Structure 1
Amino acid sequence: MMSDRPWWHAQRHADRRPGLLARGRIKAAIRRWFEAQGFVEIEAGALVVSPGNETHLKAFPTRLDAPDASSRAMYLHTSPEFAAKKLIAAGETKIFTFAPVYRNNERGPLHAPEFTMLEWYRAEPGSDYYEAIQADCKRLIEIAAETVGNADWQWKNRKFDAAAANATLTVPQLISELFPIDILDTIPGGTPDRDALARAAARIDISAADDETWGDIFSKLMVEAERRYGELPAIVTRAGQERTLILSSYPAHMSPHARPLPADTRLAGRFEAFAAGIELANGFSESNDAEMVRTGLAAEMDEKQRLYAERYPLDEDFLNAVARMPVGTAGCALGFDRLVMLATGATHIDQVLWTPLEQ
């Protein structure tokens, strides 16, 4: 959102203030709901040895200087995930946090280099919370709508009913509904077949360069699928609005933090939640297989090295903690600023940030 006035200009602040006050009310309502469910609010430190190991996320590096004149590389975290899972390993069973997080090279209507991640986890031995965490996600959308007194949301030309029941689809279902492609045929035995996916994508005019991987082609396919999912009858209410889409069962080899599904280990217990075409949340049935997580994160960093000529270290302390998390732990990260945007009708993330970074 460009303006020739700074955010602290009285008139510009007055224009933004209703959305900012709504932000506070939504946060307070969500906090009350979590506390009523028995969750404990935690605070994750932002200075970390590893900012996260997703291929395409770019972190802010810094250095920690010690009194003895030694110095080591550190980062601002891109997510509170590693810290939260260490607390789960320590014995916490229901936690949430509104965490300021930092991602470099991200700026636009839906992106800011510093933003708020609402992250929460459920963990008790002998329980499986994967479905519960999906229900939580929908409830948070409802709370935001109830707080502002409006469930009819809109993003660009897409109308959305925040009160409508979820639509649920798996990734293979979404792709096969929109395109003549069976994504599982391109993962025989759990090993991605790059050429098979390239041929399938070419049939719907999605091209693949020779140096693009299975994951690159899959990402192109998903961008198109996510753009078009509102065309599907299951997504649209009788009033012609979209409903929340819970898109689950992502390819396991692209989901290093998620447990493979027992029914088909080519897929993993991972979901994303979409509202009016906007990705709001990303959740997992969390893996406690430390070696599997290590292998997956190392592969992400190999890909980062290939694409961007850089890599971030693995957090060995985190990997030790992963093995101590209960089986059945589930967690979710939700873009709180995006939720506020939808609830208030904002068209740019800067409208719902108290002190946005000037462009």
Structure 2
Amino acid sequence: MTEPPSEAWWRREAHQDRRPFLTVRNRIKAALRRHFEGQGFTEVEAAALQVSPGNEAHLHAFATEILGPDGQARALYLHTSPEFACKKLLAAGETQIFDFARVWRNRERGPLHHPEFTLLEWYRADTPYETLMDDCADLLRIAAETAGTRTFAWRGREADPFAEPERITVAEAFERFAGIDLLASVAEGGATDRARLAAEAAAAGVRVAADDTWADVFSRVIVERVEPQLGIGRPSILCAYPVAEAALARPKPGDRRVAERFELYVCGVELANAFGELTDPAEQRRRFEAEMDEKARVYGERYPIDEDFLAALAHMPPAAGAALGFDRLVMLAAGAQRIEQVLWTPVA
């Protein structure tokens, strides 16, 4: 009998080690499904094959093709998020929807990253985006109760999933953790000043390369100085992102330098990304084109724009939506250290 490879997840002993995490996963999914259904949400299932996988510069998709009856091939992609399809459903008249969506992202592999994973996305029509912050707190509590734990932990960091999340703006986080006045480099309407941010970052001891863009510097400060400090002791909600870092979000009333976007962090781990949704098709096209220009500059490729999605935006009601990394939530609730521990059949 041929011995299985030592790294094979299907080895009996390896599966038995992982099975407790997997059964917790099932219980958490069932509990979250009951929660949404109890609030009057409708579960939907977005198709994975899409004309466009999304138009964010640094997300990488899996490409394929579809053959028509005449044998002619047309390019399609596995989606990186069900977002476009879910917003089309809002345009069609749905008002509260959720989807445990299998999604695919290329060039991603690590303790918290896997090429195929599950996003829990939910959308509320005619609802302020702050409501999603309360949703996130509810989901953390439900996951902890279901897993039978009082504490989430990851690599030496701990957080109380029952505690009220701290709400901190991105500008406040830059000032608190890096001593940088972020909004001094952002003009009314969202234009950015690369030289100003680069100078402040360098003065704070953050490495700045000569060819770094404003977005490059922003991301380095976030990764090196801000993210490690978030979600320690209690969850953190990092909100009011600069408009340039929120391609799918509407500007925040009262300060058009920032957008209605927030991210949820627990134990330094990013768990969710949420928006007050942009519904202006012309502005959305402009942002998508800018993102694809940046993708072409950095990676030498671009993805098509889903014209059907832009058409649907004109009919979409005001809405707020969130995407939560379901596998990561299970990891924190179950005490797993690697994402493969909470996936029933990991990609080899």
TM over 0.5: yes
Deviation of 1:27 after TM superposition, in Å, equals: 0.2
Tell whether the 8 Å contact from 2:227 to 2:269 is kept in structure 1 after alignment.
no
C-alpha distance in 2 between matches for 1:14 and 1:5? 14
The residue number in structure 2 matching 1:168 is 167
The residue number in structure 1 matching 2:220 is 220
Tell whether the 8 Å contact from 1:174 to 1:229 is kept in structure 2 after alignment.
no
C-alpha distance in 2 between matches for 1:133 and 1:153? 21
Tell me, yes or no, if structure 1 residue 286 matches structure 2 residue 277. yes
SS in 2 for 1:55: coil
Deviation of 1:299 after TM superposition, in Å, equals: 0.6
C-alpha distance in 1 between matches for 2:271 and 2:227? 14
C-alpha distance in 1 between matches for 2:7 and 2:283? 50
AA aligned to 2:262 is: F
C-alpha distance in 2 between matches for 1:351 and 1:343? 12
Deviation of 1:151 after TM superposition, in Å, equals: 2.0
C-alpha distance in 2 between matches for 1:323 and 1:151? 44
Deviation of 1:308 after TM superposition, in Å, equals: 0.2
The residue number in structure 2 matching 1:254 is 245
The residue number in structure 2 matching 1:207 is 207
Alignment of 1:141-160 (within 5 A): 141-160=140-159
Deviation of 1:49 after TM superposition, in Å, equals: 0.5
SS in 2 for 1:100: strand
Tell whether the 8 Å contact from 1:55 to 1:300 is kept in structure 2 after alignment.
yes
Q: How many pairs were matched up?
A: 343
SS in 2 for 1:23: helix
C-alpha distance in 1 between matches for 2:45 and 2:58? 25
Deviations 1:182-231 (A, max 9, x none): 1110113332011011111110122322221111110011112334425x
SS in 2 for 1:111: coil
Unaligned runs of 5+ in 1: 237-241
Tell me, yes or no, if structure 1 residue 303 matches structure 2 residue 305. no
C-alpha distance in 1 between matches for 2:322 and 2:81? 11
SS in 1 for 2:158: strand
C-alpha distance in 2 between matches for 1:122 and 1:152? 29
C-alpha distance in 1 between matches for 2:320 and 2:333? 26
Deviation of 1:297 after TM superposition, in Å, equals: 1.1
The residue number in structure 1 matching 2:83 is 81
Tell whether the 8 Å contact from 2:62 to 2:78 is kept in structure 1 after alignment.
yes
Percent identity over paired residues: 54
The residue number in structure 2 matching 1:65 is 67
Alignment of 1:1-359 (within 5 A): 4-124=6-126, 128-189=127-188, 190-230=190-230, 242-327=233-318, 329-358=319-348
Cα RMSD for the two superposed structures: 1.2
Deviation of 1:272 after TM superposition, in Å, equals: 0.2
C-alpha distance in 2 between matches for 1:354 and 1:324? 39
SS in 2 for 1:188: coil
C-alpha distance in 2 between matches for 1:88 and 1:185? 37
The residue number in structure 2 matching 1:239 is none
- CA shift in 2, pair 1:323/1:225, >3 Å: farther
Tell whether the 8 Å contact from 1:101 to 1:114 is kept in structure 2 after alignment.
yes
AA aligned to 2:347 is: L
Tell whether the 8 Å contact from 1:198 to 1:207 is kept in structure 2 after alignment.
no
SS in 2 for 1:330: strand
Tell whether the 8 Å contact from 2:45 to 2:101 is kept in structure 1 after alignment.
yes
SS in 1 for 2:337: coil
C-alpha distance in 2 between matches for 1:225 and 1:317? 39
Deviation of 1:179 after TM superposition, in Å, equals: 2.2
AA aligned to 1:312 is: Y
Range 163-172 or range 5-14, more displaced: 5-14
C-alpha distance in 1 between matches for 2:157 and 2:106? 29
Deviation of 1:180 after TM superposition, in Å, equals: 2.1
Tell whether the 8 Å contact from 1:256 to 1:292 is kept in structure 2 after alignment.
no
SS in 2 for 1:121: strand
Tell whether the 8 Å contact from 2:178 to 2:221 is kept in structure 1 after alignment.
no
Tell me the TM-score normalized by structure 2: 0.96
Range 84-93 or range 157-166, more displaced: 157-166
SS in 1 for 2:168: strand
AA aligned to 2:288 is: L
AA aligned to 1:130 is: Y
